[in-house]
Amino acid sequence: MLKVLLIDDEQWVVKSLKTIVDWESLGYEIIGEAFNGVDGYEQLRKLSPDLVFTDIRMPGMDGLELIRRGNELNKGISFVVTSGYKEFEYARKAMQYGALSYLLKPFDEEEFLVVLDQFGRKQSKNKTIWQMELVNRLQDPDEHSDRLLEELMGKLGFKWDEQFGAAVAVAIGSAELPIPTDVPCLALQTGRNVKAYIVRGDCIADLVESLADELPEFVAGVGISGVVHQSSHLMEAIDEADVAAYQYFVTGHKGVSHAIPPGGRLAELMEMLRQLNRTQRPELVDDLSVKIKTLIRESRFTIKTAASLYNWALLNVYKLEDEPLLTYQQLANRFESVNEMMAEWESLLRVYCDRTSVPPPPTTQVPTFNKIVAYIDEHFREDLSLQVVSESLNLHPSYVSQLFRKESSETFLQHVTRKRIAYARKQLTETNLSIQEISENAGYLDYFHFAKIFKKTVGQTASQYRDAVRGPS
C-alpha cells in the first residue's frame, strides 16, 4: 500500500480528501493528517509517506516551504498541491519545486483519480529502478556505499538506524512472508522465488516469533542472518541468510533456520578432496562420506558446503575449467534432498577413482558440435548447465566441454553468457519489462548474479545501459 499524508488548515478540506475516493481499493493508505504546516512537516519527517497532499497557504509553514524542506529529507516523497483559484501562481511555483501536480478546490473526482493513477504507475516504475540500483550497489561497494545505500533504502521506505542496524530474512518460495505491521522492513526480490527481507535489527526476533508456528504454504525455508550495523555489510547478511534459507534441503523439512557460524569443517573436507585428487584412492570416498553424514546429523552442514563439494567433483571428474557451477537454487531444483545429491556425488568420485572411466579428448566432430550449439541456442533462456546439455544430448560432460574448446574460440560458459547478455540488451532496448523480468527471461534466476555478469560484460549496469540507449524517462 502507498502511504498518504493529508495537510490542510481547513478541516473540511481534509475530510473531503479522505472521502473523495476509496483509497484502499486504489492501493493507498492514509497514515496521517495535519492542520498546519509545522505539524505537517513533523508527521512527514516521522512517517515517511509516499505521497503528501498539502495546501499552499497555512499558518506556521506554508506549502512551498513544506515541499522544500521535505525534498531535503531525501526520502523520495512526492507532493500534490491543493489550492484555490487565487493561489494559482503559488501552485505554479510549487510545480517548480518538484510537486507532482496540483488540484483546485473543490476537488473533481475524475481529476483526482488521474493524479493517483499517474503517481501509482510512476511509483511502481521508480520502485523497480531503485531496487535494482540497490542490488547493484550492495555487491559493488565503495567508500560512499553506506550513504548511497541508506538513501536508496530511504526512497524504498526503510529508514536506516545505526543504533539498531539490520538483519536479513531470506525466504525460498513463491509466497510472501507475513511481516508484522509494526516491524520496519524492506522486501527485495533477489531471484525467482527468492526474496530478502531487510528488517531493523531490534525487530528480527519479533519476525522469527511470528513465523515460529507455521510458514506460509508455498515457502520452503526461511534463513535469518545476524545483525549488521553498517549498511555496506548488508550483502554479507543477505549471503548468510540465503545459505540458512536452504537448510530445508539438508534437513528434509521446511522451517526457519539461523545462520550457522563458519567453521573449519569445509577446509578439512576440501583437504581430503585434494588428497583424493593426488592419490585417487577409493577408500577416501568412504572416509569423506562418513564425515559428511556426521556433519549433517549434527546440523553443521549447509548448502554452501554441499555446493562446494558437488562443484569440485564436477570440475575434477569431468576435467572442466571455465564452466558454470551449480548454484544453491540449481542444486535444490535438481535433487530432492542433500542425501540424493550426496549419493550422486559419491558416484562421481568413484568414477573419478577409476582412471579408465574418463573419455579421451575428442577428435574433430563438427556435426556433433553443431548439434550442441543448436541445443544451447534454443535453450539458453532456461536453467541451463553443462550437465543439462550433456544429459539431453546423451553425451559425456567432459566430451562436450573439450569439443567446445576444440571447435570454438569460446568456452561453453562464454557462449551461453554471450547469448544471454545479447538477449538481455535487446529486451532492455525494445521492451518496458522490468530488469528483474529481463533477468529471468535471459536465463538468470539470481538477480544479483545477473547484475554482476551484465556489468562485467557490458561495462554498465542494466539501468545505465537502458538509459544510454533509450534516454532516461
Nearest Cα to Cα of residue 234 among 330, 178, 329, 170? 170
What does residue 433 show for φ and ψ, rounded to 5 degrees? Answer: -65, 150
Quickly count helices (H) and strands (E) in the chain.
Answer: 21, 10
Q: Which CA distances in Å does 350 have to 150, 319, 357?
A: 51, 15, 10
DSSP 289-341: HHHHHHHHHTT---HHHHHHHHHHHHHHHTT-SS-PPPPHHHHHHH-SSHHHH
What does residue 188 show for φ and ψ, rounded to 5 degrees? Answer: -130, 115
DSSP 168-199: EEEEEESSPP---TTS-EEEEEEETTEEEEEE
Other Cβ atoms closer than 10 A to 11 = 10
Per-residue pLDDT of 363-388, as tens digits, reads: 557 888 999 999 999 999 998 888 88
Burial class of 289 by CB neighbour count within 10 A (0 to 12, 13 to 18, 19+) = middle
H runs (alpha helix) in 97-233: 109-139, 145-155, 204-210
- Order of all β-strands in the sheet with 2-7: 28-34, 2-7, 51-55, 78-83, 101-104
**pLDDT at 360 (0 to 100):** 57
Per-residue pLDDT of 327-364, as tens digits, reads: 899 899 889 999 999 999 998 888 878 765 555 555 55
Q: What does the alpha-carbon distance between residue 240 and residue 375 come to, in Å, rounded to a whole number?
A: 36
133 with 125: CB under 8 angstroms?
A: no
Beta-bridge partner residues of 255: 221
Q: Which CA distances in Å does 153 have to 32, 159, 198, 234?
A: 22, 7, 10, 12
Q: Which CA distances in Å does 122 have to 110, 117, 439, 469?
A: 18, 9, 21, 21
With a cut of 70, which residues of the chain have pLDDT below it?
A: 85-88, 91, 262-264, 321-324, 355-364, 472-473
User: How far is C-alpha 435 from the chain's CA centre?
Assistant: 11
Provide the residue type at 334 as one letter: R
Other Cβ atoms closer than 10 A to 82 = 24
Provide the residue type at 337 as one letter: S
53 with 6: CB under 8 angstroms?
A: yes
Q: What does the alpha-carbon distance between residue 261 and residue 221 come to, in Å, rounded to a whole number?
A: 18
DSSP 342-386: HHHHHHHHHHHHSTTSSPPPPPP-HHHHHHHHHHHHHHTTSS--H
Nearest Cα to Cα of residue 443 among 423, 426, 463, 465? 423
Helix, strand, coil distribution of the chain in percent, nearest 5: 55, 15, 30
